[in-house]
A = this chain, B = another copy of it.
């Protein structure tokens, strides 16, 4: 299993290669990408904080559970940290298995679990402020300016 929390760019080709298996008929890849807007606000960039060692541990546990639950051949989960520009990939998941239905189910299940359980946080930076987004799909609260950090 390829599991990684890293400040470096995520490479889908690496994740696909990591889940290759002669018994796999289907590979599903999910990329979480930085969008230029959220809940009606224009986003300039994101900054991801993480507890890297624990995040990798939780990602490894979830990948193992997905393998069991969906009969996967292989599974890769990578999360990026630090400053990410619009269009860059923050989350990269790849799963391989015999048939397509399980590949979609497993990928979707993994994204949902990762968003619930992995200790990673995003800060949205707008033209006129910034906020840590805490909790899935929360709007965030206006925070103290960055100079206070």
Contacts and interface: CB of A to CB of B under 8 A. Distances in A.
Contacts of A98: 35
Contact of A30 (B12, B33, B100): B100
Contacts of A132: none
Interface string A26-43: 111111111111000000
Stoichiometry, as copies per complex, reads 2
A86 interface: yes
Interface in A105-142: 107-108, 111
Contact of A33 (B27, B33, B36, B87): B27
A22 interface: yes
Contact of A104 (B12, B22, B24, B107): B107
Contacts of A29: 12, 28-31
Interface string A89-100: 000000010101
| Closest CB pairs A-B (n = 10) | A25-B35, A29-B29, A27-B31, A22-B36, A104-B108, A22-B86, A100-B111, A104-B104, A24-B33, A28-B30
Interface of A: 12-13, 16, 20-37, 86-87, 96, 98, 100-101, 103-104, 107-108, 111
